[in-house]
Amino acid sequence: MIHDRNRGMMRSSFSASLPSLTVLLLFVTTMLFTFGFQSSVVAAQEADDPGIARLELKFERPRQITVFGGEGNDLRPDGVPESGRTYWYLRYTVENKSGIDGTFHVGIKARSDKNRRYANIALPWVEKSIERREGKMLFSRADLLEKNGAGDLGLKVNAGQKIECVAIFNAIDPEADKIMVDFHGLVDDIDVEELPGGTLKLTERVLRLNFERPGDEFYTSMDLFRFKNKKWMMNTLEFSGPDLTPVTRD
């Protein structure tokens, strides 16, 4: 659900056409990874509006997996690494308990206390290895791309539906002691404000999960991350010009 702060519900007469706005929403989860946050962390209420579609999130702590595709250091023609590579993954489940069918643009990104950033990546061969370990099929970014194509990253979740998923990241920095994982798009409610000069300001609710692992001077890569806390926050992005170019952040 998209709201125009000045005009109420978004209408087709808005200066940015609805197709352009749809493209803009597809940019939000990827651009957040590049440009970061504008506002400070602000406490946000749980999505308790009965008129807004939302997802309940359940999650497990991050785990790592090393995938072996053979011998050597190059990728095979099918893209599978021939030598072992380590990845981190986070299992999670989304369930639509709002009573409202919805399409959610769920974006997931992570950042360490060493300021390393990680995107949820689409690697089918890694997903298969994770599924073998976990003993069940899991829905991933690769599955979403295969189902919808790159032009539509919306996940349709009907009322009462539950989907077990996995997010996959490149190897975490072994020196990291803290990991923040941000979930965008769990609440189908984005506030849109039109600023002077044709700039659009989008504000959304983001759920941040914080994980920590005990510091060990010699064996940090073997420590297990454990859940510390979670909190809702408000995240803001600005886009300007007819092409809705993201405004650069410091």
Task: Summarize pLDDT for 33-65 with one digit per residue, the tens.
Answer: 343 333 333 333 454 566 889 999 999 999 999
Q: Give me the mean pLDDT over the 88-101 stretch.
A: 95
pLDDT recorded at residue 50: 67
- What is the H or E stretch that residue 142 is in? helix 141-148
Handedness of CA 48, 27, 235, 117 (dihedral sign): positive
| Token pair 């994770």 in the structure block, residue | 130
pLDDT recorded at residue 215: 63
pTM: 0.75
Please report, rounded to a whole number, the percentage of residues in the chain having pLDDT higher than 70. Answer: 68
pLDDT recorded at residue 221: 53
Q: Give me the mean pLDDT over the 72-100 stretch.
A: 82
Pick from 8-17, 71-80, 117-126, 148-157 the range whose average pLDDT is largest.
117-126
Using CA atoms, how far apart are residues 202 and 243, in angstroms rounded to an integer? 15
Q: Has residue 14 got a pLDDT over 60?
A: no
Using CA atoms, how far apart are residues 126 and 220, in angstroms rounded to an integer? 23
pLDDT recorded at residue 158: 96
83, 71 contact by CB (below 8 A): yes
Q: Has residue 26 got a pLDDT over 80?
A: no
* Average pLDDT value for the chain: 77
pLDDT recorded at residue 149: 87
Helix, strand, or coil here: 226? Answer: strand
Q: Give me the mean pLDDT over the 58-82 stretch.
A: 76
Q: Has residue 16 got a pLDDT over 80?
A: no
Using CA atoms, how far apart are residues 148 and 216, in angstroms rounded to an integer? 43
pLDDT recorded at residue 218: 53
Task: Summarize pLDDT for 177-226 with one digit per residue, the tens.
Answer: 899 999 999 997 778 888 887 788 888 899 999 999 876 655 555 457 88
Please report, rounded to a whole number, the percentage of residues in the chain having pLDDT higher than 90. Answer: 44
Q: Has residue 6 got a pLDDT over 80?
A: no
| Alpha carbon separation from 23 to 48, 168, 190 (Å, rounded) | 28, 24, 14
Which carries the bigger pLDDT value, residue 63 or residue 70?
A: 63
Q: Has residue 4 got a pLDDT over 70?
A: no
